[in-house]
């Protein structure tokens, strides 16, 4: 795993084509101007697969063949969100199945990748509580290394998060929040389940926002694109002030226009108002996709 994580953050010199030994499966692309589509069969089991195209030659620091591109394909029902502040990361692990329930007992292991090193080194780790939450101390600079995470839980395939927040937020607002949607692609007529986690900044620490008892959730633009005056969907949801968590259901109208939308959460207290957002796509399709971006590359995962 340490080598696989390092491969995500490798520099120009490239990862040696022999780094993982002989492949379990491979295909060759013919040089025809109109090649036929081919399928690279993966195991289908929960886990992480390394997929790379081979090869290109590099001459520094030695002459050798390296992968021209590489990605990690994770087959997992886990998802994670992170809130960073004052050198700490709060990890929130939930399941993608059903209504995004928290996952207790998940291990969040940070890996530290440095330019052109074959292996990532271990950083801090934590184990999630019954609410799916744990805290990581990332206050050390780690020599400007890239921080990634591997999340494991009993009975689930591991989740790889290619790049983590620094732990130092540029948002000077009174609150920090994360919105997790049970999926980012829905059809008209679907119910979208949303979970949010809200914390209040108190100096250099984060604490439960007990002064926020409800939030406003808004979807923009309007689901009805045929009417310029149509209002955005807005609902009010209660906050569990013991944990700072919010659970809500957003009914997508059967006549909703297929398009990209933004789900916004407004925290309203007696003195301040903050806005946090997540993206949503309504489409007439059975496909969904996730993307991870790093170093000018996007990794697409279509399910």
Largest interatomic CA distance in the chain: 67
pLDDT digits (tens, 9 = 90+) for 195-224: 888 888 776 667 788 888 888 888 888 888
Secondary structure of residue 268 in the 3-state scheme = strand
Which residues, other chains included, contact 251 with Cβ-Cβ below 8 Å and sequence gap of 6+? 191, 192
Say what the pLDDT of residue 170 is.
47
- Full-model pTM: 0.57
Report the pLDDT value the prediction gives residue 11, as an integer from 0 to 100: 54
Cβ–Cβ < 8 Å for 46, 76:
yes
List, as one string, the DSSP characters of 22-79. S-SS-------SSPPP-------SSEEEEEEEEEEEE-SSS-EEEEEEEEEEEE-SEE
**Would you tell me how many other CB atoms lie within 10 Å of the CB of residue 120?**
25
Please tell me the predicted confidence (pLDDT) of residue 9.
Answer: 65
pLDDT at 118: 67
CB 260 within 8 A of CB 231: no
**Three-state SS across 109-156?**
EEEEECCCCCCCEEEEEEECCCCCEEEEECCCCHHHCEEEEEEECCCC
Q: What is the full per-residue pLDDT of the chain (303 aa) written as tens digits?
A: 777 776 666 655 567 777 778 888 888 877 666 767 777 777 777 778 888 888 888 887 778 888 877 777 778 888 888 877 667 788 888 887 766 688 999 999 998 887 666 677 888 999 999 989 999 888 775 556 788 889 999 988 898 888 887 655 544 567 777 788 877 778 889 898 888 888 887 766 677 888 888 888 888 888 887 777 778 888 899 988 888 888 899 899 998 888 888 888 887 654 555 555 555 555 555 555 656 555 556 666 666
At residue 106, the pLDDT reads 96
Q: What is the structure's pLDDT at 73?
A: 78
Q: How far is CA 65 from CA 14, 118, 297, in A?
A: 8, 15, 20
């Amino acid at each position: 795993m340490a080598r696989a994580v390092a491969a995500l953050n490798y520099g120009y010199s490239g990862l040696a084509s022999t780094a993982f030994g002989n492949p379990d499966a491979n295909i060759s692309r013919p040089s025809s101007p109109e090649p036929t589509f081919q399928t690279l069969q993966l195991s289908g089991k929960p886990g992480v697969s390394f997929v790379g195209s081979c090869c290109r030659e590099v001459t520094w620091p030695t002459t050798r063949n390296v992968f021209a591109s590489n990605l990690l394909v994770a087959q997992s029902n886990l998802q994670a969100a992170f809130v960073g502040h004052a050198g700490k990361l709060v990890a929130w692990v939930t399941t993608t199945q059903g209504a995004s329930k928290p996952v207790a007992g998940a291990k969040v292991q940070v890996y530290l990748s440095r330019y052109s090193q074959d292996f990532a080194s271990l950083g801090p780790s934590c184990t999630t509580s019954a609410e799916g939450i744990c805290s990581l101390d990332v206050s050390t600079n780690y020599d400007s290394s890239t921080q990634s995470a591997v999340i494991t839980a009993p009975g689930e395939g591991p989740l790889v998060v290619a790049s983590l927040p620094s732990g130092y937020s540029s948002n000077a607002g009174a609150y920090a929040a994360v919105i997790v949607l049970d999926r980012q692609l829905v059809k008209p007529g679907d119910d979208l389940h949303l979970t949010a986690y809200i914390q209040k900044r108190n100096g250099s620490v984060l604490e439960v926002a007990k002064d926020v008892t409800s939030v406003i959730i808004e979807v923009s633009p309007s689901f009805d694109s045929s009417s310029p005056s149509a209002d955005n969907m807005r609902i009010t949801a209660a906050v569990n002030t013991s944990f700072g968590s919010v659970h809500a259901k957003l009914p997508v109208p059967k006549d909703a226009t297929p398009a990209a939308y933004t789900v916004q959460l407004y925290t309203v207290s007696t003195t301040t108002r903050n806005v946090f957002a997540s993206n949503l796509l309504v489409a007439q399709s059975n496909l969904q996709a996730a993307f991870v971006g790093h170093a000018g590359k996007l990794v697409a995962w279509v399910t």
